[in-house]
Structure 1
Amino acid sequence: MGRDLDFWDHPYYKIMKTAATTVGIWPCQSIKDIIIYRFRLFFICIVQIQPQISAFWKYRNDLEIVLDTIAPFIVDIVFTLKLINVCYHFKKLNYLLEQIREDWSIFSKNNGLYLLHYHSNFARKLSMVYMAGVYIGGLCYSTEPLQQIMLYHLLYSNITLQRRFSMPMDFGPINLGIWYYPLLLGSAFCILMILTVIGSCDLLLFMYAEHACGLFKGLGYAIEHLPSYNTTAKYDNSYDYMRRCALIHCRAINCLNSFAESVRDIFLWSFFGVIGLNMIIISLTAVQVMNNLNAVEKVLKYTIFVSMQMVHLFVECFTAQRLMDASFQLKETLTNAKWYNASRRTQRLIPLMLIRSQSPIVLTAGKIIVMNMSTFATVLKTAASYFTVLLAMQ
């Protein structure tokens, strides 16, 4: 990987850069572009959220419509929370990007560098699959009324359906008979832009976490291939090798601690919001599915919506789990290395590195909950409990 001006145009980072640039949260953008993109995003938010608020207030006495508005409002809260966090920690994002650029030079070509490539490529593939799922799910959800109109037009041409949107929206004096389809497509575009912001924040998380995993795995590979000490040699090559590994380890630990602290700062409350709000969304949407079993199009829409929320929570917990596992494995690598064939000076470095490896790198939600797969299972269990309670209350 070169250090030229097009470093971030490498396929490992191209998807993340493109998505983040589109919504004005890419730290390497010019100030002019950031202002333009964020102003456009602010305008989109007003256009999308204001009719939702109007519909909620207009139909506040209708429980079914109120329930329909809650889940989209929660998504808007998650979107706002993530956007504010990223904008507030913009300088930290830029610092982490510079660290990633520099870290490509700390491993030699045949001694662990391929693991950095492997994890960066894994982040790219995960980003592709994730964003494809986000856009397909968002498009299916936002165009659900249009799909119903087309289906009924083919099957029941004599039936006229009520013109509605994928979520309760009220556009006031605007004549829906004339402007319905432009407003529907405009709403779908706004939904996709909001999902782009949420997805871009997650792509940054994927990139940072997988890069950190690559540093740990690359260092572990270098330590496992510690050269044996030659007692007849005048110069202790193994000590110099291990000392370099110790320096890389110290840099990696410091860098990863900085990574973890910065990522925690950036995603701290968004993690907390995702965990807490996803439980509510999943529960309420599951109730909506049960209440609309006679309407296939609504069941499909709500099923897609709840699936997207579960996938969103899964990938964040999965990414945090991979980072924690990679930091744990370094300790095992140190104990499994052929330290017994090294010189005494080299062996003295092993305990120091082990001490630094005792505490794994973890990402937390609200400084309370550790993000991992156990947390994902707990959230689903809790959401299922809320679902049964809400269903019994009806």
Structure 2
Amino acid sequence: MDTSSDIFQSRQYKLNRILLSMLGQWPFQKERYKRGIFVTVAFIGITQFITQVLALVTLRHNVDVIFEAIAPLLVNSLCVVKITNFIYNTKEIKILLMHVQKDWQSWVIDREFEILHQFAEKGRTITIRYATGIYAFGCLFPFLAIIPKIVGKNVTSAYSTRPVGFPYHVEYFVDLNKYYYPVLIHNYLATSIRLTIIVATDTCTIILIIHCCALFAIIRYRLEHIRISIEQDKRLAFLEEDEKMYKNFVYCIKKHEDAIQFANCVENIFKNALSAEVCITVFMMSLSALQATTETLTPQLAIRHGAYILAQLLLLFLKCWLGQQIIDHSDRVYSSIYRGEWYEASTKSQKLLSMIMLRSSSPSTLTIGKIMVLSLPSYSAIVRASASYFTVLRSVR
């Protein structure tokens, strides 16, 4: 891996940097580029959002179509929450990224570098798979909508707000048949921006959480392989045996505190946004399930709504899985102490281990607004909540 001063030029973080740069949200971009890109992206997104709201007003007397028009508006709201959170916490995110770069420049033994590299590769793999999945699901809507237009079928739409080929209901108060292609391009650009916002912000969260897990893994290695760590740490070469162990434990305490602070910072940045995201996702899944159970459901609509629900389930599962990763890696520090050669250390050195044990007895977490801890058990609870809201919506409808 590239160990230059800018680690984000390396293959492990390059995709994340490019995605955020496309939105003008990469913290290390030049300010004039950030502003220019963001203003352009925001203009396209906001204008398309307004047309969707106007379409909802136009279609307010048709309940079924209102549900259909609300779904993309919820996706827009999700994107607004994500991008607003990044803008509001730009300084904090920049600090975390600088912390990542510092860790890559300050590794002490070879195994630390290997662990950082291993987890960075894991983050890159998840980023690629997540981006591929979201773009695939996101492109399915425009693709299914435009097929009749491509094959040349004489198909007409029942609604003026959604001509054939349009993925969503929009209202421009112009003749959409006359300005068909300009408006269609505007909609597709807005769709690509929404997808990029979701992918860029979520994958940035992924690499930060994965790096946090790497920090805990480094501590666990130093505690489980005390002798090997001491032998590889050149800074301890000229110290007495007991002093070597003492310095090693001091290093572990400092690294453990850094990892906990990193996890707390990630938690503070994303807790409120995650709360809003989960609420929106729950409502989106309930609404999608409601649309998928209508009597007028066609195979095309079944594919569309099925893919929509699946994408939401996967997105929600990823967030809960990441929360579980933080819990597992921080919690394992406690048990790692018992696996090392702690019994060979002096009483003075062993007392340092009690500090780590006490601090790691309460694992780090990722929460939804300090209300619910994100974990695999909470995933099932959230899905059950979606099913309950679906039942309520179905009874109201």
Q: TM-score, normalised by structure 2?
A: 0.90
Letter in 2 for 1:249: I
Runs of 4+ in 1 over 4 A off after TM superposition: none
Tell me the equivalent position of 1:371.
Answer: 374
Residue 237 of structure 1 and its aligned partner are, at CA, apart by 2.7
1:225 equivalenced with 2:229 (yes/no): no
Tell me the equivalent position of 1:169.
Answer: 170
Can you list the C-alpha shifts for 1:317-345, whole angstroms capped at 9, x where unaligned?
11111111100011110122121123333
**Cα 1:144/1:238, change in 2 over 3 Å:** farther
For 2:96 and 2:226, the matched residues in 1 are separated by: 30
Can you list the C-alpha shifts for 1:141-189, whole angstroms capped at 9, x where unaligned?
13321024345x4xxx4x433224222111212x322332342233122
Matches within 5 A, 1:48-87: 48-87=48-87
Residue 242 of structure 1 and its aligned partner are, at CA, apart by 4.4
Residue 104 of structure 1 and its aligned partner are, at CA, apart by 2.1
* Number of equivalences: 385
Tell me the equivalent position of 2:235.
Answer: none
Given that residues 24 and 35 in structure 2 are in contact (C-alpha distance below 8 angstroms), is that contact kept between their aligned partners in structure 1?
yes
Letter in 2 for 1:246: V
1:351 equivalenced with 2:354 (yes/no): yes
Letter in 2 for 1:218: I
**Cα 1:128/1:2, change in 2 over 3 Å:** closer
- Higher mean C-alpha displacement, 81-90 vs 138-147: 138-147
Residue 36 of structure 1 and its aligned partner are, at CA, apart by 0.6
Given that residues 285 and 309 in structure 2 are in contact (C-alpha distance below 8 angstroms), is that contact kept between their aligned partners in structure 1?
yes
For 2:385 and 2:87, the matched residues in 1 are separated by: 32
Can you list the C-alpha shifts for 1:13-34, whole angstroms capped at 9, x where unaligned?
0111010000011100010011
Residue 286 of structure 1 and its aligned partner are, at CA, apart by 0.6
Letter in 1 for 2:328: D
Given that residues 209 and 323 in structure 1 are in contact (C-alpha distance below 8 angstroms), is that contact kept between their aligned partners in structure 2?
yes
Can you list the C-alpha shifts for 1:226-267, whole angstroms capped at 9, x where unaligned?
1299xxxx95335424423432432332x2333233222321
Matches within 5 A, 1:133-282: 133-150=133-150, 153=152, 157=153, 159-162=154-157, 163-164=163-164, 165-173=166-174, 175-227=175-227, 236-253=240-257, 255-282=258-285
Q: Secondary structure at the match of 1:197?
A: helix
Query: Share of identical aligned residues, percent?
Result: 23
**Cα 1:293/1:325, change in 2 over 3 Å:** farther
Tell me the equivalent position of 1:121.
Answer: 121
Q: Secondary structure at the match of 1:291?
A: coil
Tell me the equivalent position of 2:47.
Answer: 47
For 1:36 and 1:138, the matched residues in 2 are separated by: 26
For 2:44 and 2:216, the matched residues in 1 are separated by: 41
Q: Secondary structure at the match of 1:260?
A: helix
For 2:104 and 2:6, the matched residues in 1 are separated by: 15
For 2:324 and 2:15, the matched residues in 1 are separated by: 23
Q: Secondary structure at the match of 1:111?
A: helix
Residue 3 of structure 1 and its aligned partner are, at CA, apart by 5.5
For 2:78 and 2:239, the matched residues in 1 are separated by: 59
Given that residues 293 and 299 in structure 1 are in contact (C-alpha distance below 8 angstroms), is that contact kept between their aligned partners in structure 2?
no
**Cα 1:38/1:330, change in 2 over 3 Å:** same
Residue 288 of structure 1 and its aligned partner are, at CA, apart by 0.4
**Cα 1:293/1:258, change in 2 over 3 Å:** farther
Given that residues 320 and 376 in structure 2 are in contact (C-alpha distance below 8 angstroms), is that contact kept between their aligned partners in structure 1?
yes
For 1:71 and 1:160, the matched residues in 2 are separated by: 24
For 1:248 and 1:106, the matched residues in 2 are separated by: 14
Residue 213 of structure 1 and its aligned partner are, at CA, apart by 0.6
Residue 114 of structure 1 and its aligned partner are, at CA, apart by 1.4
For 1:10 and 1:237, the matched residues in 2 are separated by: 39
Tell me the equivalent position of 1:24.
Answer: 24
Can you list the C-alpha shifts for 1:77-111, whole angstroms capped at 9, x where unaligned?
11111111111111111111111111124433433
- Higher mean C-alpha displacement, 311-320 vs 280-289: 311-320
Letter in 2 for 1:214: A
Residue 293 of structure 1 and its aligned partner are, at CA, apart by 5.5
Given that residues 8 and 14 in structure 2 are in contact (C-alpha distance below 8 angstroms), is that contact kept between their aligned partners in structure 1?
yes
For 2:47 and 2:32, the matched residues in 1 are separated by: 23
Tell me the equivalent position of 1:108.
Answer: 108
Residue segments in structure 2 that go unaligned for 5+ positions in a row: 158-162, 231-237
**Cα 1:46/1:219, change in 2 over 3 Å:** same
- Higher mean C-alpha displacement, 316-325 vs 124-133: 316-325
Given that residues 148 and 155 in structure 2 are in contact (C-alpha distance below 8 angstroms), is that contact kept between their aligned partners in structure 1?
no
Residue segments in structure 1 that go unaligned for 5+ positions in a row: none
Given that residues 219 and 245 in structure 1 are in contact (C-alpha distance below 8 angstroms), is that contact kept between their aligned partners in structure 2?
no
1:300 equivalenced with 2:320 (yes/no): no
